Amino acid sequence: MFKDQKLIVVMPAYNAAQTLKKTWDEVMAQEIVDLVVVVDDGSHDETVEIARSLPHTLVHVHEKNKGYGANQKTCYRIALEQGGDIIIMVHPDYQYTPRLIPAMASMIGNGLYHCVLGSRILGGYALKGGMPAWKYIANRFLTFTENLLLGAKLSEYHTGYRAFSRQLIEHIPIHRNSDDFIFDNQMLAQVLWAGYTIAEVSCPTKYFAEASSINFSRSMKYGLGCLWTALQFRLKKINLVQSDIFEDIKISEPLCLK
């Protein structure tokens, strides 16, 4: 709990047997997490067995691989069903440190923001943590272009470490988004469309063999998808196109501090 608000950590998992327990240990060490939700997306290793052995953990299994976006949709649905007020996504590959959970939770729980990202770029941690140079360059190019089209000033859009309020997740139609990796980007575009401010905290990361990563061809597809999402956002703003992911999203009320 954080100030009587239920905090749920969701972990979209796929073949995470080598790092799941280590990530879970650090999540629970923060002492404010009420429940961990692990959604396994058709893993071929012992991810499910390990997850089911962990206390304070709800495990849901996709019998076949549905995709990273579909996994997150299940994560957030379950978190809402379980009464989550603050919902934080942490990848179970131990690339992002769970030690930032209290900081991210406090920014939402104190009524400052509805969305907080753990940024690998702030503080210069990306390259220090082992991010390949080509991924860093692509990240910076995409982020620059997305900031122009989306009208924001984020240091990056491509982190997998994210915290949301219940109000925000209930507000935006994430079910309309892709079941693939582009889900992440579409969700942030919807957050901005709805008028929410996105906060960031500097997050050290680690790149190693067991950490999840997509290959070059998938990265190219993801990058083009990000650009298309941002372009749709801008064209929809000036009423030149229709876009299902932005339809019927009401602008959020001004944030009232608790």
Domain-wise residue ranges, the chain = 7-245
Residue 214 · residue 222 · CB < 8 Å: yes
In tens, the pLDDT along 151-206 reads: 999 999 999 999 999 999 999 999 999 999 999 999 999 999 999 999 999 998 87
Q: What pLDDT does residue 210 have? A: 56
Mean of the pLDDT values across residues 237-246? 93
Instruction: Answer yes or no: is pLDDT of 137 > 70.
Output: yes
What percentage of residues in the chain have a pLDDT greater than 90? 81
Q: What pLDDT does residue 66 have? A: 97
Q: What pLDDT does residue 257 have? A: 44
Judged by average pLDDT, the poorest of 73-82, 202-211, 241-250 is: 202-211
Q: What pLDDT does residue 251 have? A: 84
For 16, which DSSP code? Answer: -
Residue with tokens 């019998």: 63
In tens, the pLDDT along 76-128 reads: 999 999 999 999 999 999 999 999 999 999 999 999 999 999 999 987 767 77
- Show the CA angle centred on residue 108, arms to residues 226 and 89, nearest 5°: 50
For residue 214, name the pLDDT band (cuts at 50, 70, 90).
Answer: low
| CA gap 105, 202 in Å, rounded | 14
Element (H, E) at 92: none
In tens, the pLDDT along 21-55 reads: 999 999 999 999 999 999 999 999 999 999 999 99
Mean of the pLDDT values across residues 7-18? 97
What is the residue-averaged pLDDT of the chain? 92
Q: What pLDDT does residue 32 have? A: 97
Q: What pLDDT does residue 254 have? A: 55
Q: Is the dihedral of CA 242, 246, 247, 251 positive or negative?
A: negative
| CA gap 180, 241 in Å, rounded | 23
For residue 129, name the pLDDT band (cuts at 50, 70, 90).
Answer: confident
Which has the closest alpha carbon to 73: 41, 46, 104? 41
CATH superfamily of 7-245: Spore Coat Polysaccharide Biosynthesis Protein SpsA; Chain A (3.90.550.10)
Q: Is the dihedral of CA 44, 45, 48, 51 positive or negative?
A: negative
Instruction: Answer yes or no: is pLDDT of 57 > 50.
Output: yes
